[in-house]
Amino acid sequence: MAVAGGACDPVAMTRQLDMVIVGAGFAGLYMLHEARTLGLETEVIEAGDGVGGTWYWNRYPGARCDTPSMEYSYGWHEALQQEWEWSEKYATQPEILAYLDHVADRFDLRRDITFGTRVEACSFDEATERWTVRSSNGQERITRFVVMATGCLSSANLPAIPGRDDFGGRTFHTGRWPHEGVDFAGRCVAVIGTGSSGVQSIPLIAEQADQVIVFQRTPSYAVPAHNEPLDPEQVAAIKADYVEWRKTARDTSTGFGGHMARLDRSAMDVSEEERRATYDARWEIGGLFFLGSFNDLLLNPESNATAASYVRARIAKIVDDPETAAMLSPDTTIGCKRLVVDTDYFRTFNRSNVSLVDVSATPVEQITETAVVVDGLHHHVDDIVFATGFDAMTGSLDRIDITGRGGRTLRDAWSAGPTTLLGLQVAGFPNLFTVTGPGSPSVLTNMVVSIEQHVEYIRDVISSLDAEGLSTIEATEEAQAEWVAWVNAVAGLTLFHGCSSWYLGANVPGKPRVFMPLPGFVDYKTHCDAVAAEGYPGFVRA
Ligand code: FAD
Ligand code: NAP
């Protein structure tokens, strides 16, 4: 079913394609590779000037993964995973970007990628069953399939603080960091935001800058990374059995950590001593594994409270000034906002050039030409770093004019919150796929694993359409409604609803509050496989 030659119509200069992929991060690159295996004429359109997605844009000091590097990488190509050498337990942004550049070169992907171009609109023509994709360079493509590999955390959230644009100094957003880097020497720097990006960058900015003032709305639970160079013997042992090792990770609820002994006990079923010893052991291992200390930390409030108070006690030990320690101590459910993995974050507040301003009760009210104003107090600064996160999961899709059947826009379809079937398709938008879309495990997992599962699923869906001589696939409204109800029911069993997280859209004013990801990777994957085996019930294929 591939079109001949990806030809350009000489009159309209409209390119005819089988597939347009939007985005050239982990998802877009793999999707292009797999589209080629089907013989599809494909173009990737990427707003950035290079591949990498997240790792192209987030170049702030300290940016690195918090999923171990050996797992935070593609598992679909044995030679690739054997030849690539990660240097650290948690790779830095430059190293991950170098890896994705290597992938692009190794598989000759760049020849099908248009860089520096933003997709602005996609509309479905019901008569021809084709999508028209319009981009910022004025070009149009007519294509059978559109794959939105636009990323869950790719649309920067810059808070509309009054006077923001009046600031006379330099401003930065962590997710749009200058490629040439930033020299903070001799500067007084405001950092607004204390999620993962703030926590990673503040210690390094503090090492350089004259003074750092951190504006904190909600304190984060953070556990140490204990980052270190990878042990060559351990790496060799993993590589000797990499295929099996990856497979084990895919059989978990988070898509990573399959090699760690699973602690299949409630925190309430052990003595206080044993509980503390377990937390101590996990704290020493470091990283997100802390939340796997017991099997009910995100299910049972009582169990959760034991982990939360353990972390608070750790903060109190690390931070010298008790008042600062108290301000840095969260009192919410641990894990209901994404757990943060840190290197020297809390210790940084013992430095004499770092101060903390609590903006939970009295928000940043204004930014003037020279200052950040809180509670009438002018904090004079030279630079402002916005570590204020993203319009997560829907933001990048919302910025594209997507029009499906009957002229209905995706914005309209999602006005009360995103609705999908399996996080892969939206009713009324045939042949349009979302990689790690809302309603799939996505951001609750090792995202590379979720991306691979979705890309392979989309590839197989298309392959089965072609094998059966069909042209379109589309979610039904009924199946979609059932799926949305199911996602809500599963999320409702967990403690994820207990705080105002970006998982719920709560960080963006006016965004509908709907829990967007689906907890539980392995169950989800098993369900997707069953749907495929049964001939895609819930989807109309025609
Ligand atoms: P992205 O990498 O976000 O790529 C999407 C691309 O689409 C972007 O390059 C963007 O420019 C492009 N795009 C969007 N809209 C358009 C448009 N309209 N036109 C053209 N191009 C467009 N996940 C983990 O599992 N483990 C981690 O340790 C981890 N660390 C992270 C650290 C940071 C700092 C951040 C921000 C996220 C992290 N994540 C992590 C999540 C991370 O986003 C995913 O792991 C993964 O990189 C997503 O890949 P992707 O290809 O789906 O999306
Ligand atoms: P984030 O988790 O959403 O954190 C944004 C921070 O900015 C929060 O502390 C938020 O406070 C604050 N904020 C937003 N608007 C504000 C305002 N108007 N005034 C004051 N404070 C404001 O964003 P992020 O840190 O960029 O991380 C997003 C996600 O990306 C992470 O959860 C993670 O999935 C991924 N990530 C991973 C890593 C890693 O370690 N590998 C690093 C960076 C990012 P509230 O909490 O009160 O909203």
Q: Name the residue ranges covered by the structural domains of the chain.
A: 2-156+392-541
Q: Ligand 2 within 6 A of 192 CB? A: yes
Q: Which CATH class is domain 2-156+392-541?
A: alpha beta
Residue bearing the CA closest to ligand 2, atom 17: 159
pLDDT band of residue 14 (cuts 50, 70, 90) is confident
Q: Is 507 in the pocket of ligand 2 (CB under 6 A)?
A: yes
The total of other beta-carbon atoms located within 10 Å of residue 271's CB is 8
Confidence grade of residue 476 (pLDDT, cut at 50, 70, 90): very high
Residue 256 Cα: closest atom of ligand 1: 25
| Average pLDDT of the segment spanning 372-396 | 98
CA 351 to CA 337: how far, in whole Å?
27
Q: Closest Cα to residue 189, out of 159, 209, 161?
A: 209
The token pair at 526 is: 């098993």
Q: Given pLDDT bands bounded at 50, 70 and 90, which one contains residue 5? A: very low
For position 360, what pLDDT does the model report? 96
Residue 387 Cα to ligand 1 middle (Å): 16
For ligand 2, atom 3, name the residue with the nearest CA. 389
Which one of 217, 223, 341, 384 would you pick to mutate in the ligand 2 pocket, going by the greatest count of ligand atoms within 8 A of its CB? 217
Residue 246's pLDDT is what? 96
Q: What is the mean pLDDT of residues 193-204?
A: 98
User: pLDDT by residue (tens digit) across 502-517?
Assistant: 999 999 999 999 999 9
Structure confidence by residue, pLDDT tens digits, 412-448? 999 999 999 999 999 999 999 999 999 999 999 999 9
pTM beyond 0.85, yes or no: yes
Closest CA to 44 of 59, 57, 26: 26
437 CB less than 6 Å from ligand 1?
Answer: no
Average pLDDT over residues 356-374: 97
The 10s digit of each residue's pLDDT in 256-313 is 988 876 678 999 999 999 999 999 999 999 999 999 999 999 999 999 999 999 999 9
Q: Output the average pLDDT for the chain.
A: 96
Q: In which region does residue 518 sit, left (phi positive, over 0), alpha (psi from -120 to 50) or beta (all else)?
A: beta
Ligand 1 pocket test, candidate residues 154, 385, 397, most atoms within 8 A of CB = 154
386: CA distance to ligand 2 center in Å? 9
